[in-house]
A = this chain, B = another copy of it.
Amino acid sequence: MKTVAILLLFAGTALAVPGRNSKCRPAARNTVLVMREDKIVDLTHELNENNTYWPTHPYPFEFTRKFSGYIGDKVFVNNNYFRQPEHYGTHMDSPNHFADGATPINKVSLMDHLIGPGYLINVKEKVERFGPDYLITIQDILKYERKNKARIRTGGIVFFYTGYGEKFYDSAAYLGTNKTGAEAVPFLHFPGLHPEAAKWLVSNRCIGTVGIDAVSIDVGPDAKYSSHIVLSNAGVIIIENVGHLDKLVASGRRFKVIALPPKITDGTGAPLRILAVMSGK
Contacts and interface: CB of A to CB of B under 8 A. Distances in A.
Interface of A: 29-38, 40, 42, 44-48, 57-59, 61, 66, 72-73, 75-87, 89-90, 96-100, 106, 109-111, 115, 223-225, 229, 258, 260-269, 271-273, 275
A46 B111 contact: no
A264 B47 contact: yes
Nearest to A81: B85
A34 B37 contact: no
A78 B48 contact: no
Contacts of A262: 44, 47, 89, 262, 271-273
- List of 3 A-B pairs having minimum Cβ-Cβ separation, nearest first: A83-B83, A260-B273, A48-B265
Contact of A100 (B76, B111, B223): B76
B36 A80 contact: no
B263 A273 contact: yes
Contacts of A225: 75, 77
A158 to B, nearest CB: 19
Contact of A273 (B59, B77, B109, B261): B261
A263 B47 contact: yes
Given A37-B109, A47-B267, A78-B98, 9 more contacts: A31-B34, A32-B34, A35-B258, A61-B264, A77-B225, A79-B86, A79-B97, A80-B268, A258-B258
Contact of A263 (B36, B46, B76, B267): B46
Contact of A76 (B47, B58, B99, B261): B99
B29 A32 contact: no
B75 A86 contact: no
Contacts of A37: 29, 109-111
A100 B78 CA distance: 8
B80 A267 contact: yes
B82 A66 contact: no
A42 B111 CA distance: 12
